Structure 1
Amino acid sequence: MNRNICFFNTIKTWGGGEKWHLEMALCLKNAGYPVVLGTSPGSALYRKAIENGLPCFPVSVSNLSFLNPFKRLRLAAFFRNRKIHTLFLNHPSDVKLAGMAAKTAGVKNIIYRRGSAVPVKNSFLNRYLFGHVLTHVIANSQATKNTLLQNNPALFPQDKIQVMYNGIDLSAVRPPVRAINRDVVVLGNIGRMVHQKGQHYLIELAKRLRQRNLNFRVLIGGDGPMLNDLKKRVDNYNLSDCVFFPGFIDDVFSFMHSIDIFLLPSLWEGFGFVIAEAMACHKPVVAWNLSSNPELIMHNVNGLLIPAFDMDRFTDAVVTLMDSPVNRTRMGDAGFELCQSQFSLAAASSRLLNFVNQLHLTDMA
């Protein structure tokens, strides 16, 4: 039986979706499935796929590429010639172009891996794609699955939506660094500097901690369009001696080992992968009780969940952990155990492999 699989992701930058496509393509290749990856030439995913020995075909996609019949037919011919049986799609633009092309080519399983906990617009095009093109959806969290059908509960069958978390390669994480006796408590965050990530709450937190005469530092890693605004806020509150912006973080695990508590003030998350990264490094997490955060954080077990946007309670929670090195260690160790069982790369790979094996068994029946 034909077992050929294609992963199709044309995003040029590197993010959680690209990481998932690369790791899962390698997982299925190592399991004996013939795998090919379609991605933008010169993209981060293209380079990493080539480095890892994955066959690639370069393709450029824009939001309106699906309107080009020649591009759609060429892609359909590629799927047909390569005898693609199962196709994984990443972005709405990929769904529109490659999904329609795969439908034309007779690809058996057309799967959209969705990583954003934002409702799908109830448009005619989306109703067509979800009703007549896609066969399955993989959501990166239960929150993403729940919001997928928010605007139209009949958009797609619930039983065809599988929740599969991203996974962390725990073999790349060195043992925890215990620094609980230092005088300064280091609070950390990593994320794109965009409105969604809510880093302005961290500036407000620092102002409140300063008012309590506490000894702390806040490290906010990342880059993006909100960076200058955040720096201005720090200057306006005279916090430049305790709030620092180290820039884009190449080595996330080293960053995590340099802090005591990880803070996530995002307004929403499809799947807070950075929470899992903190857990992998034995760090307790304080975050808002919203979107997918409760899927990773068990309150008072591996972190603290705070009612959304309640800065008084957020500040009190952080101070509680600052004052208790023993609780920080307890929660950090519990987070690692949860990460090991639920959010490791081995667990994620096993879930996808079982899913794909079941697809092929069903198709053979």
Structure 2
Amino acid sequence: MIEKGAIGFFNSVMSWGGGEKWHYEAADYFAQKGYRVYFFASENSVLHSKLKGHHLIQLELVRVTGTSFLNPIKVQRLKRIFKQANLDTLIINLPNDLKIAAFAGKLAGVKKIIYRRGSAIPIRNSLMNRFTFKNWVTDVLANSQATKRTILQYNSKLFPEEKIKVIYNPINTKEFMERDYNLINQAEEHELIIGNLGRLEHEKNQQFLILLSEKLKQQGVKHKVIIGGSGRLEKDLKEEARRRKVQDHVHFLGFVTNVKDVLMSCDVFVLPSLWEGFGYVLAEAALCRKPIIAFNLSSIPEIVIDGKSGFLIDNNVDACVNKIETLLEHRQLMKEMGECGYRYVSQKFDSEKIMADVEEYVLA
């Protein structure tokens, strides 16, 4: 039997998001396939908690700051671990991770150093970035066409475009569809339940949902907004809901372990994110056969088919209200959009096909 190579995943994020989900599931996939897998994560992070009981993955704890790459002790420690592991491939997550991990990887002779870009935010054209991408990074993996476009937005010569590969995030459609769930609450008669999931941070723009609720209340639409997620803006958002007198309509659920609990409890899913690298939750909402309303930006048009599986709008509350009223007036449309989204996502983003593409890419 031919021994498979060693792959390292480097992600120092403390919280849990789409990037962390991708790294964890990709590491598990390669481990289950018989590769030697090493995972570099921060102590007491969500990834640390999930990985410490995984008997097929070697967990290494790291502490990364913006200046860690300037610390020779940290760099040499990583170099030593990389060499001892005989890593063939290193997949890196954050910009701060990239600077130290790619540097140490280069010193250790790692053949393939991949920067996985999961955010559709332009990369700064800084001297450090130009040096890093020219000398240390061998490949870039983007999670959407929108993300790929932003990588070279500020500097078309930052990295060879032909070495930027787009592979969408995988969705384990079979597991997700078979997963049990518990409804958050039962809707009252003629009550519309609007769902949302995401970190309570600026880019997720949950303030939009509070303004939406205020407008729906003014127009006499019986509704409830359920928001799953935690984050730094929780206190501010709750205060905003009280100030606008919609605290009885907008419900903050905190961190949600099973997103399907929220998705199966709502009638329509609204995502007002200001940008998305790849909207996992949009795909999951589609698998729950929910019509989607989201902004026409970033990678969102790659997941939501405007007018078919949902509506793409500008950052405008009145436009969102208009689409909600359309769905309320045409209940059959809600069902048709849900079915369309389900078919599209289950065919395009199924994990079995996507992860086979990732494996082929890593081995190339």
| Equivalent residue number for residue 97 of structure 1 | 100
Structure 2 unaligned runs (5+)?
none
Deviates more, 1:325-334 or 1:222-231: 222-231
Write the deviation string for residues 202-239 of structure 1: whole angstroms up to 9, x where unpaired: 12211221222122111122222322332233223322
Q: Does residue 274 of structure 1 match 2:281?
A: yes
Q: 2:245 aligns with which of 220, 238, 243?
A: 238
AA of the residue aligned to 1:119: P
Do the aligned partners of 2:187 and 2:193 also contact (CA within 8 Å) in 1?
Answer: no
Q: Does residue 42 of structure 1 match 2:44?
A: yes
SS at match of 1:70: helix
SS at match of 1:186: strand
| Equivalent residue number for residue 142 of structure 1 | 145
SS at match of 1:187: strand
Displacement after TM superposition at 1:353 (Å): 1.3
Do the aligned partners of 1:140 and 1:163 also contact (CA within 8 Å) in 2?
Answer: yes
| Equivalent residue number for residue 362 of structure 1 | none
Instruction: Calculate percent identity across the aligned residue pairs.
Output: 40
Structure 1 unaligned runs (5+)?
360-365
Do the aligned partners of 1:186 and 1:259 also contact (CA within 8 Å) in 2?
Answer: yes
Write the deviation string for residues 141-173 of structure 1: whole angstroms up to 9, x where unpaired: 111111111110100011111112222222133
AA of the residue aligned to 2:167: M
Do the aligned partners of 2:4 and 2:34 also contact (CA within 8 Å) in 1?
Answer: no
Q: How does 1:18-167 map to 2 (within 5 A)?
A: 18-53=20-55, 54-167=57-170
Cα distance in 2 for partners of 1:152, 1:221 equals: 37
AA of the residue aligned to 2:26: M
Q: 2:331 aligns with which of 320, 325, 349?
A: 325
Cα distance in 2 for partners of 1:320, 1:260 equals: 13
Displacement after TM superposition at 1:296 (Å): 0.5
Displacement after TM superposition at 1:32 (Å): 2.6
Write the deviation string for residues 19-44 of structure 1: whole angstroms up to 9, x where unpaired: 11111112122223222212223322
AA of the residue aligned to 2:332: V
Cα distance in 2 for partners of 1:45, 1:81 equals: 23
Instruction: Go from structure 1 to structure 2 and tell me whether the alpha carbon gap of 1:17 and 1:317 turns closer, same or farther (over 3 Å shift).
Output: same
AA of the residue aligned to 1:123: S
SS at match of 1:51: coil
Instruction: Go from structure 1 to structure 2 and tell me whether the alpha carbon gap of 1:212 and 1:148 turns closer, same or farther (over 3 Å shift).
Output: same
Do the aligned partners of 1:2 and 1:83 also contact (CA within 8 Å) in 2?
Answer: no
Write the deviation string for residues 57-109 of structure 1: whole angstroms up to 9, x where unpaired: 22222211110112212211221222111111111121111100111111110
Deviates more, 1:220-229 or 1:132-141: 220-229
Cα distance in 2 for partners of 1:82, 1:238 equals: 57
Do the aligned partners of 1:139 and 1:161 also contact (CA within 8 Å) in 2?
Answer: yes
Q: CA RMSD in A?
A: 2.1
Cα distance in 2 for partners of 1:41, 1:131 equals: 31
SS at match of 1:173: helix
Deviates more, 1:277-286 or 1:69-78: 69-78
SS at match of 1:168: coil
Q: 2:352 aligns with which of 346, 356, 359?
A: 346
AA of the residue aligned to 2:22: W
With normalisation by structure 2, the TM-score equals 0.92
AA of the residue aligned to 1:5: I
